[in-house]
Structure 1
Amino acid sequence: MLSFSLLIDRVNTVIGQIFAWCIVGLTGVVTYEVIQRYVMNAPSRWGFDASYMLYGTLFMLAGAYALSRGSHVRGDFLYRYWPDTKQAKFDLVLYILFFFPGILALVWAGWDFAKLSWMLNETSSFSPDGLYVWPFKFLIPITGVMMFFQGISEVIRCMICLQTGRWPARIQDVRELEDEILAEVQEKGIDETLKDLEKKGIA
C-alpha cells in the first residue's frame, strides 16, 4: 500500500512542480501590466484575465502537491500534541466524512460547469479582448481528480499509521529553515542545536 501511496505522491509532485512555473509567467504579466498602466499610460486589454488565470492554474494544480507534503493550513494547536495513532484516526474520519464527498461534488459539478463553458465557447467578460475561459474551467474537474487520488494516498498513510503506530515518511522536499531547526532540536536537543547554529553564523 505504501508503494501505491508514494506513486500518487510522485505523480502529483511532478504535476505540481511543473505548474509551479506559472508563478514566473504571472510575475511577468503583472510586471508588464504595471509598466503599461503606470509608465506608458496604456493598460493592456488582456493582462487582468491572464493574471487571474495563471494564478488560478497555479493554485489549483499545485493543491494535490501541497496536500502530499502536508502543507495546507490547518488549526493544529491541539492536533500536533496528539500521538500519531490519534492523529491518524482523526484524519481518517475527516477524509471519509468531509474530504471525499466534497471532492466528488467538485468533480461532478466542475465537469458540468466546464462542459457548458466549452459548448458556449465562453470568453471572459472582464476585459475587452475576452480571452477564452473554457480551457481554464476544465482545470476544475482535473484538480478534483488529482485531489481525490491524493486523498486515497493520505488514507493509506492513516491506515499504515494505525497498524504501525507511526506515520510513514513522506517524500522529502525543500523545507523552511525553521522546520529544519525544529527537526534538529528534536534530534539533538536545544543546547547542541544552538551551538551548531552559532558555528554556522545563524544564531
Structure 2
Amino acid sequence: MLKTYVRVVDRFNRGVGRVTMYLIFVMMGILLWSSMSKAFFLPSLWTLEMAQFVMAAYFLLGGAYSLQLDSHVRMDLAYGRWSPRTKAIVDVVTIFMLFIYLFFLLYGGISSTNYAIQYSETSYSSWSPYMAPIKIVMVIGIFLTLLQATSIFIKDLAVALGRPLA
C-alpha cells in the first residue's frame, strides 16, 4: 500500500511539475505584452499583477516537483559525505519540521481561501481581480507539496530501516 502511495504521488507530482514548467513562458509573454503596451499603446493595468499570479502558481505548483527531484536548497556541510542510510535517518527526523511548516501554511491558505470566496475578496490594485483563483492554486500547491513530503518520508524511512522501496 505504501509503495502504491509513493508511486501515485510521485507520478502525479511529476506530471504537474512538468506542465507547471511552461508557466514561465506564460509569464514571459505577459511581461512582453506589458513592455510592448507601455511602449506602443496604452499601458495595461493587468499585466504586472497577472505576472505575479502566474509566478506564484509557478513556484507553488512546482514545489512538490522540486522536492521530488531533491533540487531544493540544503545546507551541505556534512550531508554530502554521509552514507545513503545515514542521510535517510537524518531526513526522517528533520522532515517533521517541514510537515509542521506545511501544515500551518496549508491551514492559513485554506482560511485565506475561504475568506476570499466568502467575501469575494479582490486585490487593492486598480485592476482589482478576484483573489480566490490564485488562493485556490496556492492551497493545491501546498497540499501537493505535503503529499510529496509524505512520499519522501516513506522512502527515507524504508531506506533507514534497510528495506528500500525501489
Identity %: 24
**Contact 1:19-1:61 within 8 A present in 2 as well:** yes
Separation in 1, partners of 2:150, 2:110? 21
RCO higher in 1 or 2 (8 Å CA, sep ≥ 6)? 2
Cα deviation for residue 9 of structure 1 reads 0.7
Separation in 1, partners of 2:127, 2:10? 39
| Offset from partner CA, 1:144-195 (integer Å, 9 cap, x none) | 2111111111111111211337x766xxxxxxxxxxxxxxxxxxxxxxxxxx
Paired residues, what number?
165
Amino acid at match of 1:5: V
Cα deviation for residue 142 of structure 1 reads 1.6
Q: Give yes or no for the alignment of 1:145 onto 2:143.
A: yes
Aligned match of 2:28: 27
- Where 1:135 maps in the other structure, the secondary structure is helix
**Contact 1:111-1:140 within 8 A present in 2 as well:** no
Aligned match of 2:105: 106
Amino acid at match of 1:66: S
- Where 1:94 maps in the other structure, the secondary structure is helix
Cα deviation for residue 143 of structure 1 reads 1.9
TM-score, reference length from structure 1:
0.75
Superposed CA RMSD in Å reads 1.7
Separation in 1, partners of 2:116, 2:4? 38
Separation in 2, partners of 1:69, 1:104? 21
Aligned match of 1:64: 64
Cα deviation for residue 22 of structure 1 reads 1.3
Separation in 1, partners of 2:36, 2:78? 47
Amino acid at match of 2:136: F
- Where 1:86 maps in the other structure, the secondary structure is helix
Amino acid at match of 1:10: R
**Contact 2:122-2:129 within 8 A present in 1 as well:** yes
- Where 2:45 maps in the other structure, the secondary structure is coil
Separation in 1, partners of 2:24, 2:90? 34
Cα deviation for residue 140 of structure 1 reads 2.5
Separation in 1, partners of 2:87, 2:57? 31
The structure 2 residue matched to 1:130, chosen from 128, 131, 147, is: 128
Separation in 2, partners of 1:140, 1:23? 17
**Contact 1:20-1:62 within 8 A present in 2 as well:** yes
- Where 2:161 maps in the other structure, the secondary structure is helix
Larger Rg: 1
- Where 2:73 maps in the other structure, the secondary structure is coil
**Contact 2:57-2:138 within 8 A present in 1 as well:** no
Q: Which runs of 5+ in 1 are unaligned?
A: 170-203
Separation in 1, partners of 2:86, 2:28? 42
Q: Which runs of 5+ in 2 are unaligned?
A: none
**Superposed, which structure 2 residues align to 1:39-78 within 5 Å?**
39-40=39-40, 42-78=42-78
